[in-house]
Amino acid sequence: MMPVTAQREPRAPEVGATGRAEGNVSAEGISPGRATLIVTLIGIIVTVSVAWTAWTLNKHNEHRLLEVQTHQAAAVLSATILSLQDPLETALQIEAATGGSVQQFELFASNNVGSGRPFVSAILWRKDGSSWVPVSSVGVPPLLAPYSAASRSLIEKALSTPMFAVLSVRSRGTQRIAYAVAHPKDPALVIYAERAIPANRQVPVESNSAFSDLNFATYLGPTTDLTALATTDLPLDQLPIAGDSVRVSVPFGDSSVTLVATPRAPLGGTLGGALPWIFLVGGGALTIGTAVVTYQLVRRRRIAVRDAGTIADLYLELDRLYGQQRSIAETLQQALLPQKNPSIPNLEIASRYLAGAAGVEIGGDWFSIITVDQRHFAFAVGDVSGKGVGAAAIMARMRFTIRAYLTEGHPPDTVLGMCSRQLHVNRDGHLATVLVGIGDVDSGVITMANAGHLDPLIVSGGKAEFAHSTVGLPLGVTAADYTPTIVQLAPGSALVAFTDGLVERRGESIDVGLARLARAATDTYTTLDGLLSTITSTLDSEGPDDDIAILAFRWRGPG
């Protein structure tokens, strides 16, 4: 943040025994009107300067938040692109493994082609001598004619790129994105597929989306002409996007997708935009008041110029007024700083996130704790299988979904049941283990539900025991129901929830790691933060192999 510079206030001149100010200007040389004008000009300069500083800081902060959210949206877009490529590559692998079985291709492709599915058309091409022949087709007829020069060119591109070849196809007012993927070890097999684009190019953004505060437009290739537009949530007459915006390029096969985003509303809240006006109004009022007081003080100073004590008192009053003006500037500057995490009554909360060994891709471990109402709070600790952007995208999706369901007031078992119907490993490529709970801050009763996750540890009175819950299927296996488990915390006891990276070690039974954790948690500790420091230093002295997420809270007792 830019520092707010305080205006240097005038110092009272020393007064000698003659009653005259010792210096170049006589104590009676400045009139009340002139003094008032000087103070007014200083007040205006300080007010405008600080208001401009607040406006500049808010503009910079808004643009920084826009950059962060746009890059997060680009990461989700990259994961979506990879999820489109995976089924095509899998279909090619099935073809190669089954010796070119058309029936197997059609069976697999039918799960990904059709209304509400990723693609509307898919064709399997096989090389016959020097010619390419379509041997199977699923879905509606493609817009790109199978034996056209453009079709042959796209196939040749797919053979020369390690990713996939992509092309925007238009015909009779319909636009689609065409993909061609070649098998890396069998250059005689190519899959061609087309993905539909809405006729008006508009794609609505869900209100509970992590990026619902952004307006966006995506373009195929590096240009942002309307001819290259793929999708947007804006009317076409509002494109190209003007004003404060961020542009990010995302690799898309042998081409790229350009994402342009702009905020729908202030991303940092309305306070930042209102601060310059607040300061202008408040500073203006203070300047007027200061000018009035200055006029009165100088007038009195001229009358009582021989009274050194009176003169000193008058300048002290001016010093106090200028100090108030500096205080307003500093208060407004502090308002721009990030807010602290909210506290929950009767709870002490601590958490840790430790990334895995160097060189390991981003993982899907997470934790969350929120206030549901004045009496209840909710928490979740989860771990998405696998690594990379895909795992991180599923983690973000599950985290926001679970948080939304808990905020709506659903119990933990219902939350997991609803989530189990939104994730499937065959479609999303990942599983997720999650522990979800809702606690009562007055009684210390914790209601939990477990989807394939490790049980939490209860630390109380120098002892540590695992709270045994009914463990259900991980999210992503199939739609499932879950059984709640109720745990009663004693006053002063703590619940420690964690992901498997804390206790799992290569070549070692997980029971050994759990026992090691229980021993470490029985050490004497004063604060939860100290307990987590002891646990992590004991279990991960050489650095964790996998990501670790830990969430702990201690119930102090009835409020």
Considering just the CA atoms, what is the radius of gyration of the chain in Å? 33
Q: In this predicted model, which residue has the larger pLDDT, 471 or 336?
A: 471
Report the alpha-carbon distance of residue 430 to residue 426 in Å, rounded. 8
Per-residue exposure over 86-120, b if at least 16 CB sit within 10 Å of its own CB, e if not: ebbbebbbebeeeebeeebbbebbeebbbeebbbb
Q: At residue 76, does pLDDT exceed 50? A: yes
β-sheet bridge partners, residue 460 = 463
Task: Assign domain 347-555 one CATH number from 1.10.10.410, 3.20.20.70, 3.40.47.10, 3.60.40.10.
Answer: 3.60.40.10
Q: Which residue has the tokens 């926001």?
A: 400
β-sheet bridge partners, residue 196 = 176
- The three-point CA angle 200-267-219 to 5° equals 30
- Looking at residue 209, its pLDDT comes to 61
Q: Could you write out the three-class secondary structure of 178-192?
A: EEEEECCCCCCEEEE
- Looking at residue 191, its pLDDT comes to 86
Q: At residue 2, does pLDDT exceed 50? A: no
Sign of CA dihedral 383, 385, 391, 395: negative
- Looking at residue 109, its pLDDT comes to 77
Structure tokens at 111: 């799960």
Q: In this predicted model, which residue has the larger pLDDT, 70 or 3?
A: 70
Mean pLDDT score, 219-247: 83
375 Cβ contact partners less than 8 Å away, ≥ 6 residues apart = 440, 441, 442
Q: How confident is the model at residue 326 (pLDDT cuts 50, 70, 90)?
A: very low
Q: At residue 168, does pLDDT exceed 50? A: yes
Q: At residue 340, does pLDDT exceed 50? A: no
Contact 218, 36 (CB under 8 A): no
Q: Which residue has the tokens 């060994």?
A: 357
Q: How is the chain split into domains, by residue range?
A: 98-196, 347-555
What mean pLDDT is reported for the chain? 81
Contact 546, 513 (CB under 8 A): no
Q: How confident is the model at residue 338 (pLDDT cuts 50, 70, 90)?
A: very low
How many CB atoms lie under 10 A from the CB of residue 151? 22
Q: In this predicted model, which residue has the larger pLDDT, 415 or 182?
A: 415
Q: At residue 3, does pLDDT exceed 50? A: no
Distances from the Cα of 369 to the Cαs of 149, 438, 546, in angstroms?
57, 10, 22
Q: In this predicted model, which residue has the larger pLDDT, 496 or 37?
A: 496
Contact 348, 339 (CB under 8 A): no
Q: At residue 327, does pLDDT exceed 70? A: no
How many CB atoms lie under 10 A from the CB of residue 250? 17
Per-residue pLDDT of 116-128, as tens digits, reads 788 888 888 888 8
Contact 330, 4 (CB under 8 A): yes
279 closest CA partner among 319, 334, 329: 329
* Burial grade of 370 (CB within 10 A; 0-12, 13-18, 19 or more): middle
- Looking at residue 318, its pLDDT comes to 63
Mean pLDDT score, 463-484: 94
- The three-point CA angle 552-556-559 to 5° equals 130
Report the alpha-carbon distance of residue 310 to residue 316 in Å, rounded. 10
Helix (H) or strand (E) segment spanning residue 364: strand 364-371
118 Cβ contact partners less than 8 Å away, ≥ 6 residues apart = 83, 84, 87, 112, 195
Q: Could you write out the three-class secondary structure of 303-315?
A: HCCCCHHHHHHHH
How many CB atoms lie under 10 A from the CB of residue 403? 16
β-sheet bridge partners, residue 472 = 451
Per-residue pLDDT of 368-414, as tens digits, reads 999 999 999 999 999 998 888 888 889 989 999 999 999 999 999 99
- Looking at residue 447, its pLDDT comes to 97
Report the residue count for the chain: 559
User: How many helices and strands in the chain, by DSSP H and E?
Assistant: 10, 20
347-555 has the same fold as 98-196: no
Question: What architecture does CATH give domain 98-196?
Answer: 2-Layer Sandwich (3.30)
